[in-house]
Structure 1
């Protein structure tokens, strides 16, 4: 894996806006938008460089902006973009703590072609900014984790934009329960996706109003709404007949003995259901699930009432249609016998999550792994904390699951370089890996994986033998990297991590907490290979 030539050219332009004459005249709009995003991702919106950025890249032709966790994005920059008169179709500003209502007002005012608005994790956003959003074609709104957002802010937004079909407002602590009903009354049948996770005081009455008005709802996320009961579920079942995805994670009351019958009223149209942490009793669970004849994704994380007989009953009834089964956090409840039921009945399985299922050896997975077609269907295997998982099973996964994209085996001590090299040879779509505390892994395995797989999210924390060699291999081979965890890797230096952040196309989230890192290191270019390598400073001083 390596950067495309177009990425290298854009990187060169980004770093030389101050020296290339009139470059903005020759750049198409799409490249101006990419350059703006990448300059923000690498914190290059400095006072010295910003005039050149504004001159070459800010243009009336801009159609989208994306700023992610850049504290150099300020109200002044947003005002300058607004002054260009551009007609934006998509705005994403995520985690930019310096942005206030003044900047949001400047960027959204008179944007009547806007169809996507994502203002996430903005601590200063209030009604003063949102009330200026008014677009007849606005469809998608994401305001998650905006700490000052109040009911009246969202009410003003939906009143001015009744065409909204996707509203994502989870974990905004100042929102209260009546909002769900108010949103439902305004958006009505236009609303197709609603995420109000973390709305802890949401009650049955508000849910009833929402369900009755929003009969075209397809996706509903109620994560942590622990006051709703069977009455809310009945209203959802009776009115939302097109619902495809429902998240009831940690909605504790729906699993109580008096309210669990509400699960029997869930709409049969469901394709994706999450019951994580709900502790549904073992008598209700099969009756509730077996009637969902279109279900494709089933998440039962942390449920302690799973039994082999119930799982056999469920999977024999609906296993043929399931593509995802999630048992994460089920401890010793999930056994190889339950896994056998999954293998026997889920012929089209694509994703299997077993984290912290400590009794599973994986031996009952062999019929799936030995079937070429079924093994090639697997894209996700999450097995972190499965301390009993067999080495031979892990090796068979690496050999057979050639379309694997997500592989997590944190805490499994037998994972070694052989498994990583096998993954590197066979799994050329692998993007997400978690090898935390797999201490048998060395630079050799990581370098092989980085060179052959388009890695985007990597966890290597607690592997003490890794050095800068691994980080440099990732830097030179994985330009789309998004996240990397390296805490406890004491031989990896901050210099190598900084280089990784500089050469990546995206803004990389790095966690690298380690004591006593050697500060006396520098990076130098290998003239034979063209790659940058770590050079020991003490050796250089002796030359």
Structure 2
């Protein structure tokens, strides 16, 4: 069991109430602020966990709840406060279970009285007291209404959640409407089946299971939500096709199916059943990893049954024909054809264009098409009347299309035609020169997302774009990752003008330093939530401190920087209580003890990626990354032997 004592159960209950699970084994591992929140929550809720009279007589909550800061030190020192909390959670203030707690027998008392070692007797009594507190979860959950009103369960990156915990939770909770499990490695189909068998999911509306390695979906075969469920998301999983097919038959009213990067185990009967069963109810469909599992029949079934489809993601699917989309899916707004390698330039050169004019988001990443075809899709003059084909387009993804690096006229024509309405442009993994990006500055006036990754770009032609106050204010998401030649002047413009940035990626740009981060922190103090500074080797603890003090960060990546020390981590822990993701792999000056410190200080559970490849190897060796195994290994500098 992961929850063995009442004090751990209190933490468990508090965590569920706030849609969080703390991966802890002892109350002392939590920060003082979190401990106080737990105690206050137990005061405010009649959970049956605490005997209020005993608790109030042992612990004066007014010492830290609702007291002015100047009176707090006078009433009780911090050390005394901390000790009181610890004593409360290790005392017998918890209400005991009368059915499971038995008083000591007269024989045990007599044996204690007759012994000459008084200390041994005291230790025995203390041990018996502690045993009384170690109540079983099964019996205790029947006495409390702790989880009765919960309708939404969200657990992310928790090492605490397991099948036993789900079993206990399913016996106490009410009808769940929204369930999300993400990166929970210890739950299996058995644990999920407890929720199904106890009838807790009969009113389920949305279900999300993502990156849970031991979950294959066999429990879905018996999940009948009686028509309530509208959305299911199963990402990065190995799924049981037979069970998933049974689930579709039981819940044919589904409107959204997201199977991104999942794959089906065993024999795949026919993926054409997905649109055939759901029919006109289907609004959103994200296909899983698939090669040639009867995709021709799948597309035919899609054309025939899904006229109300608004989103279709065919990433990495080997489809060969999408010619009927325009007629059969007239309200399609989001189409992603990334890595559909069988759609070649010759296909798009046909007189009839396959993409519906209603599309607002279009993904063409890594397709082997030339600029002539792109002009036909996205630029004026493609139709006989000279108008643009995709007049509603607002988001375009052209990542990895090599042809655009050699023919710069395409981007110019696209920006002239659609620049006034484009909200998002993604041009990653392309060797674009500065001259190719000049039309963005001249014609794009509504951009909120701009992603560019080019080793040849200096940013000179983009300066007019960031110099305009209107453009800089609208921009919320900026990525200039791997732009090795980027000039410092452009970064200064970004830091000085862009005051609405929420997410920034400046990884591998060597001109990024503490002064740039200071500008960003001052300008985007109220908006910036996520920033990536991987391998920015001029960044030091001062730059990280500027971000931590001014911005309420939820995610930061400072991996691969040997200038970063424990000081940065402690500053993040003190100033960013909502931090949820921290990437510090390769930071050799950060110790494991400091990583534990930030887990303790942050209220939200923090996912930390910390691999130090050079830690513990011989002085005359160096570390290397094994691309086959994905691990760092030590290599001798003299012999080159692993």
Do they fold alike, i.e. is TM over 0.5?
yes
Residues 257 and 281 in structure 1, CA contact (< 8 A), matched pair in contact too: no
Q: Residues of 2 paired with 1:320 and 1:26: CA distance?
A: 60
TM-score, reference length from structure 1: 0.83
- Within-5 A mapping of 1:201-280: 201-202=292-293, 203-225=295-317, 227-229=318-320, 231=321, 233-258=322-347, 261=350, 264-280=353-369
* 1:94–1:107 Cα change, 3 Å: same
Q: Does 1:390 align with 2:487?
A: yes
Residues 375 and 410 in structure 2, CA contact (< 8 A), matched pair in contact too: yes
Residues 263 and 288 in structure 1, CA contact (< 8 A), matched pair in contact too: no
* 1:413–1:160 Cα change, 3 Å: same
Once the two structures are TM-superposed, the CA of residue 94 in structure 1 deviates from its matched residue by 2.3
Q: Residue 374 of structure 1 aligns with which residue? A: 471
Q: Does 1:460 align with 2:558?
A: yes
Q: Residue 262 of structure 2 aligns with which residue? A: 172
RMSD across aligned positions (CA):
2.9
Once the two structures are TM-superposed, the CA of residue 48 in structure 1 deviates from its matched residue by 6.3
Q: Residues of 1 paired with 2:468 and 2:282: CA distance?
A: 43
Q: Residue 42 of structure 1 aligns with which residue? A: none
Q: Does 1:341 align with 2:431?
A: no
Mean CA deviation greater in 119-128 or 471-480: 119-128
- Within-5 A mapping of 1:444-459: 444-459=542-557
Q: Residues of 2 paired with 1:192 and 1:503: CA distance?
A: 43
Once the two structures are TM-superposed, the CA of residue 11 in structure 1 deviates from its matched residue by 2.5
Once the two structures are TM-superposed, the CA of residue 195 in structure 1 deviates from its matched residue by 0.9
Residues 177 and 201 in structure 1, CA contact (< 8 A), matched pair in contact too: no
Once the two structures are TM-superposed, the CA of residue 368 in structure 1 deviates from its matched residue by 1.9
Q: Residue 134 of structure 1 aligns with which residue? A: 224
Given candidates 187, 192, 212, the residue that maps to 2:283 is 192
Residues 348 and 373 in structure 2, CA contact (< 8 A), matched pair in contact too: no
Given candidates 498, 513, 531, the residue that maps to 1:401 is 498
Residues 145 and 172 in structure 2, CA contact (< 8 A), matched pair in contact too: no
Q: Does 1:160 align with 2:243?
A: no
Once the two structures are TM-superposed, the CA of residue 105 in structure 1 deviates from its matched residue by 1.7
Runs of 5+ unmatched residues, structure 1: 1-5, 28-46, 518-543
Once the two structures are TM-superposed, the CA of residue 311 in structure 1 deviates from its matched residue by 1.2
User: Residue by residue, what CA displacement relative to the aligned partner does 1:130-162 show, whole Å, maximum 9, x if unpaired?
Assistant: 122111210111111221x13222211111112
Given candidates 365, 373, 397, the residue that maps to 1:284 is 373
* 1:256–1:308 Cα change, 3 Å: closer
Residues 120 and 145 in structure 1, CA contact (< 8 A), matched pair in contact too: yes
Q: Residues of 1 paired with 2:349 and 2:237: CA distance?
A: 33
User: Residue by residue, what CA displacement relative to the aligned partner does 1:454-500 show, whole Å, maximum 9, x if unpaired?
Assistant: 21221111221111111111111222222222122111111111111
Residues 17 and 56 in structure 1, CA contact (< 8 A), matched pair in contact too: no
Q: Residues of 1 paired with 2:504 and 2:440: CA distance?
A: 19
Once the two structures are TM-superposed, the CA of residue 83 in structure 1 deviates from its matched residue by 1.5
Report the secondary structure of 1:237's partner residue.
Answer: helix
Residues 369 and 400 in structure 1, CA contact (< 8 A), matched pair in contact too: yes
Q: Residues of 2 paired with 1:349 and 1:82: CA distance?
A: 46
Q: Residues of 2 paired with 1:158 and 1:361: CA distance?
A: 52
Q: Residues of 2 paired with 1:163 and 1:412: CA distance?
A: 49
Once the two structures are TM-superposed, the CA of residue 171 in structure 1 deviates from its matched residue by 2.6
Residues 126 and 153 in structure 1, CA contact (< 8 A), matched pair in contact too: no
* 1:173–1:493 Cα change, 3 Å: same
* 1:57–1:260 Cα change, 3 Å: farther
Q: Residues of 2 paired with 1:424 and 1:328: CA distance?
A: 25
Given candidates 400, 414, 439, the residue that maps to 1:314 is 414
Once the two structures are TM-superposed, the CA of residue 18 in structure 1 deviates from its matched residue by 12
Q: Does 1:506 align with 2:529?
A: no
Report the secondary structure of 2:247's partner residue.
Answer: helix
User: Residue by residue, what CA displacement relative to the aligned partner does 1:505-525 show, whole Å, maximum 9, x if unpaired?
Assistant: 3332222222348xxxxxxxx
Once the two structures are TM-superposed, the CA of residue 316 in structure 1 deviates from its matched residue by 0.9
Residues 156 and 181 in structure 2, CA contact (< 8 A), matched pair in contact too: yes
Report the secondary structure of 2:47's partner residue.
Answer: helix
Residues 18 and 49 in structure 1, CA contact (< 8 A), matched pair in contact too: no
Q: Residue 235 of structure 2 aligns with which residue? A: 144
Given candidates 452, 458, 469, the residue that maps to 1:361 is 458
* 1:271–1:498 Cα change, 3 Å: same
* 1:296–1:179 Cα change, 3 Å: farther
* 1:71–1:463 Cα change, 3 Å: closer
Residues 255 and 278 in structure 1, CA contact (< 8 A), matched pair in contact too: yes
- Pick the structure with greater CA Rg: 2
Q: Does 1:59 align with 2:157?
A: no
Once the two structures are TM-superposed, the CA of residue 69 in structure 1 deviates from its matched residue by 2.9
TM-score, reference length from structure 2: 0.71
Residues 349 and 377 in structure 1, CA contact (< 8 A), matched pair in contact too: yes
Q: Residues of 1 paired with 2:350 and 2:605: CA distance?
A: 47
Mean CA deviation greater in 64-73 or 470-479: 64-73
